[in-house]
Structure 1
Amino acid sequence: MSFSTDELSFFRAHTDEVGAVCARLGLTKATALADAALAREEFGEYGRAVVELAHARRSALGKLPGNWWACHESAQQATPMIVAHLRARRIAQAAAALVFDATCSIGTEGHALRSLGIPYAGGDLDASRLAMARHNLGDNAWLLRADALKPAIVGCDVLVADPARRSGGRRIVKPEDLIPPLPDVIDAWGARSELAIKCAPGLDFSEWDGLVSLVSVDGGVKEACLYSPGLAGGTRREALIAKRVAEGEAGGIDQRAIEVPGIAERYLVDRIDDQLDDDVDVTPPRRYIVDPDGAVVRAGLVRHYAHREGLSMLDPHIAYLTGDRLPQGTSGFPFIEMVPVKKLKAALRAHGCGSLEILVRGVDVDPDALRKKLGLKGKRQMSVVIARIGTQAQAFICGKRVTANEAREATAE
């Protein structure tokens, strides 16, 4: 549950003490009773709120600055800082005199925009979220209580909005069902400013007259953002792939390193867009099979990515790719042989397979049910990629998943 304004006032008056107790809590199932007792002993009726704050901070490690205020729900809903920072970099190119974040929540977009020196104002209907944003962004942040569908600020160049994508625990799949509805946000602001509207990756964006940007972080697709034409730079589709890296780790020639202000994380970011050539061949399996990042698939840029990396397609309608090397910063599967799905069990037994990673696309196969059906008893770790090639389902038997660095080292040996 969210914090009351009274609880947030208590946090503000006891910032150091609250932070010290948060650091002492175990925050596991085994320590739940002890944590609650400690928090009540230190803070009485405010103990519950302190435990929730500690849990929210723990769940948002690497996603939000460690001293931020967030309840459980707002921490889960918050945009990862790297995603907000990538958006801020695009908005910065527009040289906006003022950006208004109509659903500012606890302030992630504001933090990213302000770190680049972009003038920012934030609004939200939830008084608790606004109070948390005030703490997180500082008392000099320009924040106001406002309805996202009732423009409360004049002269903003860019409108950022994040309509709620879940209701009653269920994911929303239609733009008109978002909260507030996506068409209503566009109607309210589209004639006033450029738009950057965050959406769920699975929505139908075919009618959007601007840029659709899909962003993934560490292999998981986090969001789609709809940019109006003035922010698109002539591009209609892009995929941004962000991966956390250790200090000194190098990326590929198409990747750039980004350090995100406020969190001790460094990312390599790769960008693929529809300005790239999409001329690729369809070939039999080569040395490796590659499953492109979900952002590339969702953005409809599989062919563009394949062309850039020198890969080919196994089928013109299936997103699995194949090549003689793995793109830098990715992983893939060393190809062994292709068999009909009905012969997969016998083939895996012949290879001594004991554990199996299963990938499926374009075929109605449940990986967990298939794994049980196969009854694997060998010792070898392997992978299988199942896809519809032409009109038939085929199984591509592969070795275990390897990274590009592992593949390169194996080749050198």
Structure 2
Amino acid sequence: MEMSELRALLTPEGLDLLDSLGPVEQVADVARAVSRLRAAGHSPDLVSAVVGQAHLRAKAKGKFGDFAARMLFTRAGLEQATRLGVAARHAQRIRRAGLTSVADLGCGIGGDALAFAGAGLDVLAVDADDVTAAIAAYNLAPFGDSAVVRQGTAEEAVPTDERAIWMDPARRTSGHSETKRVSSEDYSPSLDWAFEVASRRPTGIKLGPGHDRDSLPSDAEAQWVSAEGSVVELVLWTGALARDGVRRAALVIRGDRSHELTAGADALDAPVRDLGGFLHEPDGAVIRARLIGDVARSLDAGMLDERIAYLTSDAALTSPFVQSFRVRETMPANPKAISAVLKAHSIGTLEIKKRGMDIDPAAFRKKLTLKGDQTATLILTRIGDQRRAILADRVPAAD
């Protein structure tokens, strides 16, 4: 979105038109909406802004729920924005630390700042881009004077009071739509600067979940977060926002519930053992935090292979940090052998999972014979130097 489009949108006519248009969910709907609004005599800038926002609001519902229907976005800002449920947990941590205010340096469209203000924190939100800062101001307007937005760089906006610092460094090239990921050396603000601020202030720094672990400050708490099965971020916490004795954490969020595993360091891996009656797939946050060994010991399990993140046990146990499967039988990982077993079990609906094997599950499925009224999960993996297929049934998730 360009500033001319934003100015056209931020008028009574523009906002009324946006609300009346409703969500534009499919790409094909965009062209139809543009044609209809242009035929009605609306300006090109207004039509582009309204249709673009309607489409982004539809995409944003997964991150912001019903709040998306009253927010504005840029495409790049939405891609980097924190999910509202995750941001709410960041706000809770700041409140639990006894802090009442926070500076969001590099606030983007204001996703985290919304959660901070909603939790009753006094918020200063800063972004260097003029369009993005204006959109953040619109999104935070319902909070009045308790959420102030300024345009400026993070480096020049560090407050002198005792408030917490939150940073989500830009990990893409500048712009509002077609942006590309950049290397960590080109983040804005720079990580060296962000880490220096964090060394002397209570700070949270949001990074990509795959960030190089060797570059993390040794005295910070590193928390990997997964939401609905996907690892969405890594947050570094320092000062009063870091928990005593915690250097590694895996936070697993499903719906309104969350579970967390914490440790003072990477966990030692569990020994390798033969496939037992159950197979467990650790959550991605647990894998990133290198806490697989702690989960294995809680399940009386071992590693299926030292190089692959599958656990196995004979105990009928599960946990919120894994997906568990009851093993039916194993076979060579070739379509003919697998199809014979599927036929014997009348499997017509099959979930395929894989680790340690360079295959495309969708393409592999086409090679299988699926016929019957039964369901199962097929797990393709390496065990030692063998390619194996494991037919299994899901165990209900633990609370």
Q: Which segments of 5 or more consecutive residues in structure 1 lack a partner in the other structure?
A: 245-266, 409-413
Query: Given residue 201 of structure 1, which amino acid in structure 2 is its aligned partner?
Result: P
2:309 is paired with a residue whose SS is coil
| Correspondence 1:335 to 2:327 | yes
1:314 aligns to 2:304 (yes or no): yes
Q: Distance in 1 between matches of 2:189 and 2:84?
A: 23
For residue 184 of structure 1, what is the amino acid of its counterpart? W
TM superposition shift of 1:355: 6.0
Q: Is the 8 A contact 1:330 1:403 kept in 2?
A: no
The CA distance in 2 between the partners of 1:312 and 1:193, in whole Å, is 41
> Which residue of the partner structure matches residue 80 of structure 2?
77
CA 1:89 to 1:309, structure 2 compared with 1: closer, same or farther past 3 Å? farther
Name 1:37's counterpart in structure 2.
35
Matches within 5 A, 1:292-311: 292-311=282-301
CA contact (8 A) 1:124 1:145 kept: yes
Distance 2:302 2:41 in 1: 62
What letter is aligned with 1:13? Answer: P
Task: Read off the aligned partner of 1:393 and give its amino acid letter.
Answer: Q
Is contact 2:221-2:236 (8 Å) kept? Answer: yes
Aligned-pair distance for 1:320? 0.8
1:68 aligns with 2:67: no
User: What percentage of residue pairs aligned between the two structures are identical?
Assistant: 28
* Structure 1 vs Structure 2 CA RMSD: 3.1
Tell me the TM-score normalised to structure 1 length. Answer: 0.80
Q: Deviations over 1:332-385 (max 9, x none)?
A: 33312234446x63244244266654333334445455445x443554654333
1:224 aligned to 234, 240, 244, which one? Answer: 234
Are the counterparts in 2 of residues 27 and 35 from structure 1 also a CA contact under 8 Å? no
Assess, with a 3 A threshold, how the Cα gap between structure 1 residues 232 and 345 changes in structure 2: closer, same or farther.
farther
CA shift, 1:5, in A, is: 5.7
Give the Cα separation in 2 of the matches to 1:346 and 1:164: 49
After TM superposition, the score normalised by the length of structure 2 is 0.82
Q: Deviations over 1:21-63 (max 9, x none)?
A: 232x654344333311333327433111011111111111142
- In the other structure, the counterpart of 1:146 is 152
Question: How far, CA to CA, are the matches of 1:328 and 1:200 in structure 2?
Answer: 23
Q: Does 1:164 align with 2:195?
A: no
Q: Give, in whole Å, the separation in 1 of the partners of 2:292 and 2:101.
A: 36
Pair 169,20 (structure 1): closer, same or farther in 2 beyond 3 Å: closer
Q: Residues of 2 paired with 1:309 and 1:180: CA distance? A: 42
Amino acid in the other structure paired with 2:390: I
Call closer, same or farther: CA 1:113–1:309 in 2, change over 3 Å.
Answer: farther
Task: State the 1:170 CA deviation.
Answer: 4.3
Cα distance in structure 1, aligned partners of 2:84 and 2:35: 33
- 2:248 paired with 1:237: yes
1:398 to 373, 391, 394: 391
For 1:300, the aligned partner's letter is R
Structure 2, gaps ≥5 residues long: none
Number of residue pairs the alignment of both structures matches: 377
Deviation at 1:291, TM superposition (A): 1.1
Displacement of 1:164 in angstroms is 2.1
* Residue aligned with 1:180, SS: coil
